A and B are shown apart, each in its own frame.
Chain A
Amino acid sequence: MNRFDDDDAREEPEAEAAEGMILDLARLRPAAPSLALRERIAADLAAPLGTATTLSARSPTPAPRAFAWLAERMLWAAGGAIVAAVPFLIQPRPLPADTNRPAVAVDQAEAAPRGPEAPDPSSAAPPVIAAAPQAIAAQPQAIAAQEPIAEESLAWSDDGVQFIDGQIPARVIRHWVLERFPGADGDGPVRPREDVFVVPVALR
């Protein structure tokens, strides 16, 4: 049998030469293993399943478990996450929304008349915006044609990156301003205004 599976008759001599070389090389006999190997295998076969194998006497360290390295890294990652969370956990909680509200907005909201469906200003978010429409409702429509005499910044809001028309990424930032209009007593009506800044950004 030609062990090299050569179909071509021209390669027959080559295959025969190879067979001769194989027989020649096979006269070199591999060195025998150490006597300890047999005893170690005997010990392993005699031990119950799941017992760690005894490796060579020169390397008594047992083989690491397959996921030991992963478990160790997971522990380090969990520790790091806990350390990172500590500053947030010990940080004092923000005050209730009512106390954060600008004084002028609170005054206006409390001064405005409320209908039966008027929202509770203490539960609205952002509070200044919820209160402002009621203040507007109390004022005559004439202020729409007037120029404000003063503006007061109330709040900023970063809405993050949004896609305009579903395609163009842009960062949307909102700014709420309280416009104050001239009045007879010097402290005229107010009106909220919302400015929306759309800043195109490039996503990497």
Chain B
Amino acid sequence: MDDPAWRAWYDRHAARLVFYARQWLADRASAEDAVQGGFVKVWRGCRPGETPDVPLLYAAVRSEALDLLKSRARRRAREDRAVAGGGHAWWEDDPLVSQERAAAVQGALEQLPIEQREAIVLRVWSGLSFPEIARTLGENENTVAARCRRGLAALEKLLPEGCREPL
């Protein structure tokens, strides 16, 4: 199956999906495994000419990430390898963005509860609307909106003083 459609679709969503999976999985390799599993499952379920439902894809990646997280032995081995091979930053290198600020945002995000963090990631970096986030997480729309709002408020407080101004 060499459908160019999936490649274009992959190019548009892959980085966001991996970033989303990294909210549960510490290293990039495990997050990519989760994306691979979820992407292949969802894409195989599509009819020819169709593109996957975005919330369904995120939900599939989430499920794969949680499965990987449960397999402790594999996770430990991967984390050991990740430590040995050096970590990967969450963000793309951008000369217009301060590295200090990027690291601060990552550090603050990691301190948030996972429910708030995944809502923020889906809203901010995946660009999903609240109804789409609600479908992804299987939650009420108002619930995910409230989580996002509370998470953003907490995130702002967690950011160091010098990193609160706009990027």
Contact = CB atoms under 8 A, between A and B. Distances in A.
Interface of A: 3-5, 14-15, 18, 20-22, 24-34, 36-38, 40-42, 44-46, 49, 53, 55-56, 58-59, 61, 64
Contacts of A28: 90-92, 94, 97, 102, 105, 125, 167
Given A22-B152, A29-B92, A46-B2, A34 B40 contact: no
Contact of B40 (A3, A32, A44, A61): A44
B92 A45 contact: no
A45 B33 contact: no
Contacts of B43: 45
Given A5-B142, A26-B125, A31 B92 contact: yes
A34 B148 CA distance: 29
Nearest to A59: B78
The 10 closest A-B pairs by CB, nearest first: A30-B19, A29-B92, A44-B40, A56-B29, A33-B18, A30-B15, A45-B1, A37-B32, A27-B167, A24-B166
A59 B33 CA distance: 9
Question: Size range of the interface on B?
Answer: 35 or more
A135 to B, nearest CB: 73
A32 B166 CA distance: 23
A64 B120 CA distance: 32
Contact of A22 (B2, B14, B96, B123): B123
Contacts of A31: 15, 18-19, 28, 88-92
A37 B36 contact: yes
22 contacts: A5-B142, A15-B149, A18-B153, A21-B155, A21-B156, A22-B152, A25-B125, A26-B127, A27-B94, A28-B90, A28-B102, A28-B125, A30-B92, A30-B125, A31-B91, A33-B15, A33-B35, A37-B35, A41-B40, A53-B37, A55-B36, A58-B29
Q: Which of A15, A22, A30, A34 has the most CB of B within 10 A?
A: A30
